[in-house]
């Protein structure tokens, strides 16, 4: 069974062949790449788009009056339109290109947070946030005097997800902003983002969604979600590294101050002061990462050809299969929800550390991730120092889950666990 989702869509037929990095041996075994939540592999069409841009169209954008600059500008702004369409944003000016999720969240924290937060205000987060949606808020909380509060995670293995019953009492009048992850990178839980945004919006609270783990794995419609900001990275959705975006509602962006200064973001510059352009340019100081943005547009095309509802079904089916098969291993602790989940499974064994597991699994050609997954406070709450994570994408198969389980059995036997 190469693909657990039955589909008539021809794009799925050659899906493994589309990704050149998959076709190699590691330690004498075929590579089984299960580290997709960290970064996904790239289809040939994305790699080719990047190469072709550098081979033919490369020139700096916006300022040039020559042919190549015009082509590059068109390609860059075309990528912005493509990303806007990918997210169903109302306006392409609502898409700001950044280095990725982390920079997008830092932008909101520094610009919106810096202008709007004051002592006595609170920022609401959740206990399952990646460090990228925690540390930027710690920085701005310290700068502005705002407090940080957290929606609890329920269950000894976090199987209960967010404590939604506690949410109403946490959305107090002093809360100005609520930032949460769409899909947890360590638990695999899919948070009810539209419901969370609706509750916050009803109280006039700004919402920020960390979309790092949802963007490439399910349909994402920022207007249906009802969020104010949505941050994501390109490299987790089959795009290249170094590019991502921030979606922000136009009215909010136009009221926000710049967070970095430089060329490209100004309308008038004098010795003492300057005026700036509206969004998105206001937030893109300096030469933007146009080549990678163009490749990101190609990744959007690639994923839409597969169909994002089908990708979600595929990843979900693999994750549930992995959860069921892993649960047969002695003493395994599986984190996150039992049923519906996104395409990843994290687990721990009492007697074997995750780094030893990852080192051994590498010998079987498996690429896994072990550690705290940038979730140190959550790991601490669950009484864990580290977990091992297998995360799936469009090219993974049910056979690869069998290889994972067989490898883990061998490792447990070796360590006598």
The residues binding other proteins (CB under 8 A) are 27, 351-356, 359-360, 363, 371-372, 376, 379, 385-386, 414-416
CA-nearest of 135, 142, 138 to 119 is 142
Closer by beta carbon to other proteins, 221 or else 356: 356
Q: How far is the CB of 370 from other proteins (least distance, A)?
A: 8
Burial bucket for residue 147 (CB in 10 Å: 0-12, 13-18, 19+): middle
Closer by beta carbon to other proteins, 145 or else 351: 351
Count of CB atoms situated within 10 Å of the CB of 323: 21
Distance, in Å, from the CA atom of 373 to the CA atom of 113, rounded to the nearest integer, reads: 26
Residue 37's contacts (CB-CB under 8 Å, 6 or more residues apart) are 185, 213, 236, 343, 344, 369, 389, 391
Q: How far is the CB of 385 from other proteins (least distance, A)?
A: 4
Q: How far is the CB of 38 from other proteins (least distance, A)?
A: 13
Closer by beta carbon to other proteins, 66 or else 413: 413
Extract the tokens encoding 13. 């037929």
Is 227 considered catalytic here?
no
Residue 202's contacts (CB-CB under 8 Å, 6 or more residues apart) are none
Q: How far is the CB of 27 from other proteins (least distance, A)?
A: 7
Closer by beta carbon to other proteins, 219 or else 377: 377
Q: How far is the CB of 361 from other proteins (least distance, A)?
A: 11
CA-nearest of 22, 38, 32, 25 to 346 is 38
Report whether 130 contacts 279 (CB < 8 A).
no
Report whether 166 contacts 152 (CB < 8 A).
yes
Q: How far is the CB of 372 from other proteins (least distance, A)?
A: 4
Q: How far is the CB of 415 from other proteins (least distance, A)?
A: 7
- The catalytic position among 197, 227, 300, 374 is 374
Distance, in Å, from the CA atom of 78 to the CA atom of 155, rounded to the nearest integer, reads: 45
**Helical segments of 32-127, H only:** 44-52, 67-87, 101-108, 114-116
CA-nearest of 412, 301, 291 to 351 is 412
Closer by beta carbon to other proteins, 288 or else 371: 371
Distance, in Å, from the CA atom of 39 to the CA atom of 19, rounded to the nearest integer, reads: 13
**Helical segments of 65-217, H only:** 67-87, 101-108, 114-116, 135-144, 164-170, 193-202
SS3 137: helix
Closer by beta carbon to other proteins, 130 or else 182: 130
Closer by beta carbon to other proteins, 83 or else 357: 357
Distance, in Å, from the CA atom of 54 to the CA atom of 57, rounded to the nearest integer, reads: 6
**What separation in angstroms does the CA of 281 have from each of 86, 112, 240, 259, 265?**
20, 16, 22, 12, 5
Q: How far is the CB of 146 from other proteins (least distance, A)?
A: 26
Cross-strand partners of 387 = 371
Closer by beta carbon to other proteins, 300 or else 358: 358
Instruction: Give the residue numbers annotated as catalytic, written as ranges.
Output: 374
């Amino acid at each position: 069974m190469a693909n657990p989702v039955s589909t008539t869509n021809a794009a799925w037929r050659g899906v493994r062949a589309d990704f050149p990095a998959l076709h190699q041996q590691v330690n004498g075994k075929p590579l089984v790449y299960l580290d997709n939540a960290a970064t996904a592999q790239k289809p040939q069409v994305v790699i080719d788009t990047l190469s072709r841009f550098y081979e033919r169209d490369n020139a700096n954008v916006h300022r040039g009056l020559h042919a190549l600059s015009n082509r590059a500008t068109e390609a860059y702004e075309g990528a912005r339109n493509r990303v806007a369409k990918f997210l169903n944003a109302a306006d392409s000016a609502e898409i700001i290109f950044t280095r990725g999720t982390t920079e997008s969240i830092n932008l909101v924290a520094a610009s919106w947070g810096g202008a709007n937060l004051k002592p006595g205000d609170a920022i609401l987060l959740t206990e399952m946030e990646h460090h990228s949606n925690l540390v930027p808020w710690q920085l701005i909380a310290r700068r502005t005097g705002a407090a940080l509060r957290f929606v609890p995670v329920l269950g000894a293995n976090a199987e209960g997800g967010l404590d939604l019953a506690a949410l109403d009492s946490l959305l107090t009048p002093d809360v100005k902003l609520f930032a949460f992850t769409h899909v947890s990178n360590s638990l695999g839980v899919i948070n009810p983002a539209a419901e969370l945004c609706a509750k916050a919006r009803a109280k006039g609270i700004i919402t920020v969604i960390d979309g790092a783990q949802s963007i490439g794995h399910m349909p994402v419609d920022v207007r249906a979600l009802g969020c104010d900001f949505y941050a994501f990275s390109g490299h987790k959705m089959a795009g290249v590294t170094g590019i991502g975006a921030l979606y922000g509602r136009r009215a909010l962006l136009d009221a926000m101050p710049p967070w970095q200064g430089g060329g490209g973001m100004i309308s008038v510059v004098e010795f003492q002061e300057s005026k700036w352009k509206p969004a998105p340019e206001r937030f893109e100081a300096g030469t933007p990462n146009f080549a990678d943005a163009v490749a990101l547009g190609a990744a959007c095309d690639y994923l839409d050809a597969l169909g994002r509802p089908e990708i979600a079904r595929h990843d979900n089916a693999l994750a549930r299969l992995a959860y069921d098969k892993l649960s047969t291993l002695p003493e395994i602790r599986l984190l996150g929800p039992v049923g519906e989940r996104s395409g990843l499974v994290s687990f721990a064994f009492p007697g074997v550390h995750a780094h030893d597991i990852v080192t051994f699994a590498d010998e079987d050609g498996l690429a896994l991730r072990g550690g705290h997954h940038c979730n140190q406070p959550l790991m601490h709450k669950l009484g864990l120092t580290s977990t091992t994570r297998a995360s799936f994408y469009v090219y993974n198969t049910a056979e690869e889950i069998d290889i994972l389980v067989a490898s883990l059995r061998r490792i447990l036997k070796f360590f006598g666990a």
